[in-house]
Amino acid sequence: MVSKISVGLFTAGILALGLSSAAMADAKASIEAREACMKANGGMMKVMVPVIKGQKPYDKAAIDASIANAQKACGGWADWWGEDTKPGGAVKTEAKAEIWSDPKGFEAAGAAYVKAEAAVLASTDEASFKAAFPALGKACQGCHEKFRQADE
Ligand code: HEC
């Protein structure tokens, strides 16, 4: 239940993107929150990828905990995309300008991620986990290709 609510919040945040402008947290806090959300996403991959590669045994509890951690870290998503958080602003960011010029595309990339993450959470054994995982990996990659300029 908790996870469903979190997924809903994430989606609501993405849908609110186009409308949001007022009441933004300051740029630095927003960008730091984005990074913390994405670091939790990275942590989730560190739990999942070794299982996919056969380096670690399947562990549903660990997988679910990594998803819960990411959902918690990403819960404030709606408030993190103010105009003052664009690239080239006062605070360094890996976000690309396309987030603001193509809000529908960004929303779709976020929705694909939410959907794929929910499918992984719903998987109940190693086979269903392995079937659900590739869409999640693609969702990360798909958004990054269009909307993130990695600086390392
Ligand atoms: C809807 C778009 C979107 C999705 C989906 C997405 N990311 Fe990101 N990611 C971004 C953006 C934008 C940034 C740059 C944020 C910034 O610097 O302001 C980023 C940055 C990152 C970073 C660097 C964080 C840092 O400390 O600078 C990591 C790691 C990362 N993402 C991992 C992931 C993983 C793993 C997934 C999938 C589980 C994922 N992301 C899904 C958009 C996305």
Q: Alpha helices, DSSP H only, in 17-151?
A: 27-52, 60-73, 98-101, 103-122, 126-147
**Residue 101: inside a domain, yes or no?**
yes
In sequence order, the 6+-apart residues with CB closer than 8 A to the CB of 99 are 81, 86, 106, 147
> CA distances (Å), 30 to each of 1, 53, 71, 80, 151, in order?
27, 34, 16, 5, 18
pLDDT of residue 109: 97
The string of pLDDT tens digits covering residues 40-61 is 999 999 999 999 999 999 999 9
**Residue 152: inside a domain, yes or no?**
no
Q: Name the amino acid, one letter, at 56.
A: K
**Residue 94: inside a domain, yes or no?**
yes
Return the C-alpha torsion angle 59, 63, 66, 72, nearest 10. Answer: -130
CA of 33 to the centre of ligand 1 (A): 11
Mean pLDDT along residues 118-132: 98
pLDDT of residue 126: 98
Q: Which residue of 104, 144, 151 sits with most ligand 1 atoms within 8 Å of its CB, as the best mutation to test the pocket? A: 144
**Residue 27: inside a domain, yes or no?**
yes
pLDDT of residue 12: 53
**CB of 120 closer than 6 A to ligand 1?**
no
**Residue 142: inside a domain, yes or no?**
yes
**Residue 122: inside a domain, yes or no?**
yes
**CB of 113 closer than 6 A to ligand 1?**
yes
**Residue 29: inside a domain, yes or no?**
yes
Q: DSSP per residue over 97-136, as a string?
A: THHHH-HHHHHHHHHHHHHHHHHHHH--SHHHHHHHHHHH
Query: Domain containing 135 — which CATH number?
Result: 1.20.120.10
In this predicted structure, the answer to whether residue 5 has a pLDDT above a threshold of 90 is no
In this predicted structure, the answer to whether residue 25 has a pLDDT above a threshold of 90 is no
Number of domains in the chain: 1
**CB of 94 closer than 6 A to ligand 1?**
yes
Q: Residue 41 is part of which domain span?
A: 2-147
Answer for the pair 48, 120: CB distance below 8 angstroms, yes or no. Answer: yes
pLDDT of residue 26: 87
The string of pLDDT tens digits covering residues 128-152 is 999 999 999 999 999 999 999 987 6
Task: Phi first, then psi: give them for residue 23, nearest 5 degrees.
Answer: 55, 30
